Amino acid sequence: MPSFRIQLFIISILLMFVTLALKSFSQVNDNSYDYVFAHKFSGVHNAIFILSQSYTGTEIAPAEKRKAAHKKVEDDTSNAKNSISVRESGDGESILVCLDLNDYDVKVEIIVYNMLGKKVMDVWNGKAISNASCPKEYEIPKTKLPDGLYLCVAQSEKFRMVGKFVISR
């Protein structure tokens, strides 16, 4: 059993806290209160009391968890880098679309749209083909399209890529 002086000290501290804290408090949200109290030696203090264990908010994780989450994102291959490049052929008569894919066992659809979003040409619809220099160059004849700005969309179940090209004669 603590001595009378210790009990008196504890009670006085509690009473001081309660009397000073009750002078100024505000409800922060449904389950917590923010108490502001002043102490003549140590200054103004804030104490927030949470009344229940259920809350919503952002958890600030320790550094180890943040590093593990960052590594998990780096190791994720679901958004592996596929690329599309659109260029003019050497003779200037066609546009060549080159797809560099991580997985060539997918059905690829290549479509040309004008800037209004209207479909103007189906270039390819089938399994992707690869070779050594460019995995596969798909040809768009310039004679079939009027002058203008176009979007070449290559898509499958796993990706969607867009390349732009201009036809100007």
pTM over 0.75: no
Going by pLDDT thresholds of 50, 70 and 90, the confidence category of residue 83 is confident
Choice among 2-16, 29-43, 101-115 with the minimum mean pLDDT: 29-43
Residues 6+ apart with CB under 8 A from 99: 82, 83, 84, 108, 110, 128, 135, 136, 138, 154, 161
| Arithmetic mean of pLDDT, 73-79 | 52
CATH T-level topology, domain 83-167? Immunoglobulin-like (2.60.40)
Average confidence score pLDDT of the chain: 73
DSSP H helices, the chain, are 4-21, 63-75
**Nearest-angstrom CA–CA distance, 28 and 89:** 66
* Token pair recorded at residue 18: 């309660």
How big is the chain, counted in residues?
169
Per-domain residue ranges of the chain = 1-55, 83-167
**Nearest-angstrom CA–CA distance, 138 and 17:** 78
Choice among 74-88, 138-152, 155-169 with the minimum mean pLDDT: 74-88
- Between 60 and 16, name the one with better pLDDT: 16
% of the chain with per-residue pLDDT over 90: 31
What is the four-CA torsion angle of 64, 69, 74, 78, rounded to 10 degrees? 160
| Arithmetic mean of pLDDT, 154-165 | 92
- What per-residue confidence (pLDDT) applies to 29? 46
| Arithmetic mean of pLDDT, 127-144 | 78
The residues with which 108 forms a beta bridge, in sequence order, are: 126
| Arithmetic mean of pLDDT, 126-145 | 79
